[in-house]
């Protein structure tokens, strides 16, 4: 029996598996899903309406924003038209005015001072709001000029809106 070949046993490999990569991937997945679930939660905007004395009365909206809004329309050939309030019922009717110290700057400063006088009577309006509406035919220099006037008059609340209502388009074409 000695001549019989011995059983050849295969070399035993290590049964230990390195789980480091698996643990790091699982932690990354956990963090990813935690973040995506947090971002997917619906966000609600809380509207805080002033109390009107009873709970079933609808809030009445005042039109104080009209009292502090000025719309400035920029047209072709350095045309500048402004009005205060809404175009349907303006506080100051649309007027063509010039750029510079004796034009739009004086009007902006005057309206801002009137608003400050109004605020000194106990009512607290925020600030004057200027809506700048450049037309397709206005040039870039006019837009920069009106933005400079906003800076000189220290008016921080303004918006550049390149959209016109049909009434504003007619007004810009007629004057």
26 vs 34: CA distance, rounded Å: 12
Residue 158 is assigned to a structural domain of this protein: yes
Determine, yes or no, domain membership for 1. no
Give the domain range for residue 150.
65-174
3-state secondary structure of 106: helix
DSSP structure class, residue 122: T
Q: pLDDT tens across 30-67, in order?
A: 999 998 888 877 766 665 555 555 555 554 444 456 66
Distance CA 156, CA 175 (A): 29
CATH number where 145 lies: 3.30.420
3-state SS track over 23-59: HHHHHHHHHHHHHHHHHHCCCCCCCCCCCCCCCCCCC
Predicted structure pTM score: 0.58
């Amino acid at each position: 029996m000695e001549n019989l070949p011995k059983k050849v046993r295969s070399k035993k490999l290590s049964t230990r598996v390195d789980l480091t990569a698996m643990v790091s991937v699982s932690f990354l997945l956990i963090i990813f899903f935690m973040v995506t679930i947090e971002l997917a939660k619906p966000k609600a905007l809380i509207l805080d309406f002033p109390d009107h004395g009873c709970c079933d009365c609808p809030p009445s909206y005042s039109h104080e924003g009209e009292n502090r809004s000025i719309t400035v329309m920029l047209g072709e050939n350095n045309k500048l038209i402004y009005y205060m309030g809404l175009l349907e019922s303006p506080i100051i009717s649309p007027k063509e005015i010039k750029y510079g110290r004796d034009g739009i700057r004086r009007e902006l400063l005057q309206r801002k001072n009137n608003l400050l006088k109004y605020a000194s009577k106990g009512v607290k309006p925020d600030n004057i709001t200027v809506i700048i509406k450049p037309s397709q035919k206005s040039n870039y220099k006019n837009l920069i000029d009106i933005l400079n006037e906003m800076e000189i008059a220290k008016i921080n609340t303004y918006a550049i809106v390149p959209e016109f209502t049909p009434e504003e388009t007619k007004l810009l074409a007629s004057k």
